[in-house]
Amino acid sequence: MSPNTRTAYGTSSTFWKRTPTFVPSTIEIVYTGETPSPAETTAKPPAETTSAQPAPRSASPQPTPQTTDEVQEPLTSTSSYDDSSPIAQDEAPTDPLELKFHTLLTAANVDIEELQKQSWKGIPSSQRSTAWCLLMGYFPLNASRRSQTISRKRREYTDWVRQTFSRGEDALDRSLWHQIRIDVPRTTPGSPLFQSPRIQRSLERVLYCWAVRHPASGYVQGINDLLTPFYYVFLSPHLAQPVDSLDDSVMDTVEADSFWCLTKLLDGIQDNYTHAQPGIQRQLIKMKDLVSRIDAPLAAHLDSEGVEFIQFAFRWINCLLMREVSLTSTIRMWDTYLAEPDGFSSFHIYVCAAFLLKWSKQIQQLDFQRTLLLLQKPPTESWTAKDVELLLSEAYMYKCLYHNSPNHYSATQKR
């Protein structure tokens, strides 16, 4: 097997280090006594929110529906993401929340702290693509530098694609390419959009180009899942027409921006995907310790039944819960992750703990086999935005109570 490919289920970038801490105003912590517990806290959930041509493509695929079963976000004409301009100067939206984001995103110098504060509670779909690019550190905050910088990055990716695929698939790393070609059709299988051959070829190019440029980690199953939220968010403003009728320049822009944002994301959690995936191993230990402190009876039951956290939570961390909740829910969760310092690593552990605790009473009535069946396929099909926001609020509550607790994490840091 190629060293670039691993089939098992972070190094910090400057972006992750410079992100300031934000405390949502809608979270209230009530705490008495020496040892905090969930019963002593209350959390109010956040308010519901409403490049040049790449390598030659394969033959034109059959028409594919432009919407998905999972994602039903409304498309608007006020989208701030445009294929020809980093932030389009559209007519200001009339919705107050959209107008607030529009004002933030079109400023000469974007106030990143204010953008994080507003994004924690959810980003309007019409403003999300630009907001994500800014929050990821891909779009410069200074408007005067933005257009030139983005054009250069998009050309750079296009040149990589051309160089990589110019000699055809036979010149590629066969093992790596084969694994990617297997995994891409499995990505978001319930979505007709991601079953489009045109989109699948695009996802394959992004994943392959990323893998060959990051040999220390290479491609790992699960990275394909992490690409889809970016791809969907950037493609959404153009889905008023079928995917197969979109101009190549639009698809090239979506592909390039998805590549760079995926790169930014993985730079912050790189230890999750290097050899032996030490980042995930550390987070599993932290999650187990956290659950033991919050819900001792649940932790004792899992131990008595022989249920190990690695048997269910490894995938939760590796794929950021994308296989446990819908793409719509994932996108909403990422709004908050991007507003949190180390949102995709440290804060995600609190989200995973809160997610597990939701099924605590049910799990304590189940044996080993039925517990794993529940945790590997939790019943989240009917989840709404309210469910996601409650989960995020509970995770933030646990973070406030336990993140700086002297007994929490200290033991795991010494191991």
Which residues neighbour 78 within 8 Å (Cβ) at sequence distance 6 or greater?
90, 91, 93, 98, 102, 126
- Residue 293: predicted pLDDT: 96
Residue 186, class by beta-carbon neighbours within 10 Å (0-12 exposed, 13-18 middle, 19+ buried)? exposed
Q: How many of the other CB atoms lie within 10 Å of CB of 42? A: 12
- Residue 244: predicted pLDDT: 94
* pLDDT tens for each residue of 332-391: 999 999 999 999 999 999 999 999 999 999 999 999 999 999 999 999 999 999 999 999
Element (H, E) at 219: strand 219-220
Q: Using 50 as the pLDDT threshold, list the residues of the chain that sit under it.
A: 1-23, 25-80, 83-89, 408-415
Nearest alpha-carbon partner for 23 in 134, 113, 112, 141 = 113
- Residue 93: predicted pLDDT: 84
- Residue 39: predicted pLDDT: 41
* pLDDT tens for each residue of 268-301: 999 999 888 999 999 999 999 999 999 999 999 9
- Residue 217: predicted pLDDT: 86
